[in-house]
Chains A and B, each alone.
Chain A
């Protein structure tokens, strides 16, 4: 084998690679300093953005993937000239970790779950909102406001609410399901799909026992754990994302789904039946807040205002699949989606899962893991 040309080629390749990556690294390095503000447009004080004023600059948006249709993001960029930098996190706690480490800097607008916002506020990572900067603030549905994590509405703007529900395939089971208790039925062996939020799932047992989601009584929680072990043989899979696929493909006959998953399931299989469990409903809200050291808070206000314009909000919720939190947008939601996206007035009496004592939380985690092993 001729070694000599081999070596030359390798040397050439390596030097090219080195040069190329150094150049690319310099280019990519511009992304490195997150707190350095590149744009001048963000410093305008007190200007209401919704007059179509071109602000320029950047919005550092931090939330789950798939929260806004591309059309809304593009529309916002065109109207305000603000470029949207969309970063994702997977778990609320990852977001909190990031915010803790950066002390509330780097991101302008964060959209997350209710319970984590309570913690973020307690840690001083959230700045108070100046609601006068949002013309469309009045469009928000008061039903979703003044909740446990922001009782005075000082910090957050709601964006989407959910009620997890049971959905089942009448072709695969003869049961008439009316509530959580039916899940324990022996005919459902190896036939149930569950989401993976342990407070909510353990909560199923608590509800069947007539207890609150947020009880801190350790004995009650332990009893719920025992009840869950009885449910274990019926569980086919536990999956926090795309749980609805199991229903759609016939892998499971019954599923406990988040609102957006219910939306996707029913759109794909209109023959599925939904159940609002008679033992009581769970309830969760997502909301946006501005971190305490946000580099471009004005951009955040502009964005919040933009997405709360009635037609824009309607488009957002039709994309997102969660309950519409903007009252003025309700009439803009298309007919067939009204049932799925607009919350009936009486249903809002659900119980929200809130933060509880550390001991109770730890016990929940333990009974959850015992439950999981029992399923396998």
Chain B
């Protein structure tokens, strides 16, 4: 850029200052505290003793907790994959609509998300429960003979997860696809490429940043989202988030909960970095 150095730097620092200050005080601070906690021991009745220990981390290596992490990752992967499959086309198509339709679609997606997620999940219970909406439809059409008993099963949980996470992917992909220069696509079509090839070689790479942020915004929360599994899965799927909650409440073991959270955080960061290097989107500015 052709600005004089001093002016540019000053304006840049002005822009960055609030975010830096806020992040240090209210994000880095608390997280450092969490790491500190994970090395402490819990006190007799409540709180922590300031004595250093690695026990919390050692405990994570027990098979029960390793299994818990595995379950969480499995569910997160599955949900994210399905969210990509469903959400990417949605966001992409949305970006290709007329300006008026774009606005309508944006609202259509966001309006449900201003009603409580919990209430909407209860809506899915009405759908899935025995002799609920789904059963009534299927039985009415004579596709099934009796209740499917879909509630409190793994598929029900996956549906709930997708439902909760979809808008993040859609908005991220849309955000990126919306500023795509369609003339590039037209140009490649003119040069003889099929629709699919045009998409794959032009549109897809250009919307990759959107896809990446969608994946980040989907995968990360899905690791911690356990109330879907609790509500729709009948608490039968043990996820890291619910173990952490248990340890913080009934277990009164803040240090162990902190250790679990620290590991969760680190693993998730590693996953994202891995994803970035595999898909070659390392050049992404500022986004993890």
Chain A residues at the B interface, C-beta cutoff of 8 Å: 1, 91-94, 96-97, 100, 119, 122-123, 190, 196, 198, 235-239, 249-251, 358, 361-362, 365-366, 369-370, 372-373, 375-376
Contact = CB atoms under 8 A, between A and B. Distances in A.
A361 B42 CA distance: 13
A237 B46 contact: no
Interface stretch (B198-206, B210-218, B229-237): B229-237
Interface of B: 42, 44-47, 64, 67-68, 71, 99, 129-131, 149, 151-152, 154, 230, 233-238, 243, 246-253
17 contacts: A91-B250, A92-B249, A97-B46, A100-B47, A123-B45, A123-B46, A236-B234, A238-B235, A250-B130, A362-B253, A365-B251, A369-B64, A369-B68, A369-B243, A372-B237, A376-B154, A376-B238
Given A91-B249, A97-B46, A372-B236, 6 more contacts: A93-B252, A235-B236, A369-B243, A369-B246, A375-B236, A376-B237
A361 B46 CA distance: 14
Contacts of A196: 235
Contact of A93 (B71, B99, B238, B250): B250
B264 to A, nearest CB: 16
Contact of A237 (B47, B234, B252): B234
Contacts of A373: 67, 71, 236-238
B44 to A, nearest CB: 8
A238 B236 contact: yes
A325 to B, nearest CB: 25
B129 A251 contact: yes
B67 to A, nearest CB: 7
Nearest to B253: A362
A155 B67 CA distance: 44
Contacts of A198: 250
A376 B129 contact: no
A365 B257 CA distance: 13
Contacts of B251: 361-362, 365
Contacts of B44: 358
Contacts of B154: 376
Contacts of B237: 372-373, 376
A366 B251 CA distance: 11
B45 A119 contact: yes
A365 B250 contact: yes
Contacts of B252: 93
Contact of A251 (B71, B130, B236): B130
A216 to B, nearest CB: 15
B64 A370 contact: yes
A236 B248 CA distance: 26
Contacts of A249: 129-131
Interface of A is mostly: helix
A122 B237 CA distance: 35
A196 B46 CA distance: 22
Contact of B45 (A1, A122, A361): A122
A375 B246 CA distance: 18
A91 to B, nearest CB: 4
A196 B234 CA distance: 10
Given A93-B250, A369-B68, A237 B130 contact: no
Query: Residue among B230, B234, B253 with the most chain A CB within 10 A?
Result: B234
B195 to A, nearest CB: 27
Nearest to A197: B250
A105 to B, nearest CB: 16
B253 to A, nearest CB: 8
A229 to B, nearest CB: 13
Contacts of A96: 46
Nearest to A193: B234
Nearest to B247: A365
Contacts of A369: 64, 68, 238, 243, 246
A366 B47 CA distance: 21
A123 B44 CA distance: 10
A360 to B, nearest CB: 12
Contacts of A100: 46-47
Nearest to B157: A376
Sort A-B residue pairs by CB-CB distance and give the 6 closest, nearest first: A237-B234, A376-B236, A238-B235, A93-B249, A375-B236, A91-B249
A370 B238 CA distance: 9
A147 B67 CA distance: 40
Contact of B249 (A94, A370, A372): A94
B269 to A, nearest CB: 25
A122 B43 CA distance: 13
B131 A250 contact: yes
Contacts of B99: 1
B152 A237 contact: yes
Contacts of A92: 249
Contacts of B152: 236-237, 251
A265 B40 CA distance: 45
